[in-house]
Amino acid sequence: MTSSRSPSSDSLNGLALEAVEHRLQALSEYLAVYRAGLASGVGGWQWRQARVLHSDIARLQAWWWYLSSLQRGAGWVRWLNKLSRLLLPMIPLRKDKPRRRHAARTMRRLGSHSLVLRAYVTLEEDLQGRLLTYRLTARQFPGRISEGQIEKLEVRLGQAALLRRDCLPEPRHVAICCQLLRAVMVLRQGLGLPLPAARVVEP
């Protein structure tokens, strides 16, 4: 996402925030399920799953902070981007390992870029499903869904596809931003300062 402020970039940034918030909500609900299992004395594999989910949530919260600050035009984002450009040559490219089939049922830990990309893809798939539902409803019950509603959803779906395809920064930049901002959030929490947080309803 670029830092230039235009209606189209603001719209895409807002859609990216929506995608991250929805994914954070889903992961928070998964984490609540695993924590309930831990409280009931379930085995160690659920403890490992909970650790992976906690890490994913922390990195997505950091990316949400980056996006929301970018949308507000916060000055520190420019300095973070400069720092990222300096650090990029020192960070090796990471490729997520393919999922291995085994009986341990362990959750794969994704890199930050893949984690954010999955949030964007999930929103795109959700919009595709809603659009299909709208079209079927309009066909079976004329007048219940207007053409304007369908066109508006088609525009959002096009934006989601663009967001997923072209608007996610270089993987190492995403990783650097997530790790640095996550560390800042841990420090703020230790100092008792308020944390920037996405709109997520506790399960």
Query: Is a pLDDT exceeding 90 seen at residue 107?
Result: no
pLDDT above 90 covers a percentage of the chain that reads 60
Which amino acid appears at position 184 of this protein?
Answer: V
Give CA separation, 26 vs 20, 75, 154, in Å. 10, 31, 24
Q: Where do the domains of the chain lie?
A: 7-96+107-190
pLDDT tens digits, one per residue of 52-95: 999 999 999 999 999 999 999 999 999 999 999 999 988 877 66
CA 106, chain centre distance (Å): 21
pLDDT at 101: 43
Residues in the chain: 203
Sequential DSSP letters for 82-133: HHHHHHGGGSPP--PPPPP--TT-PPPPPPHHHHHHHHHHHHHHHHHHHHHH
Q: What is the mean pLDDT of residues 172-182?
A: 95
* Whole-prediction pTM: 0.84
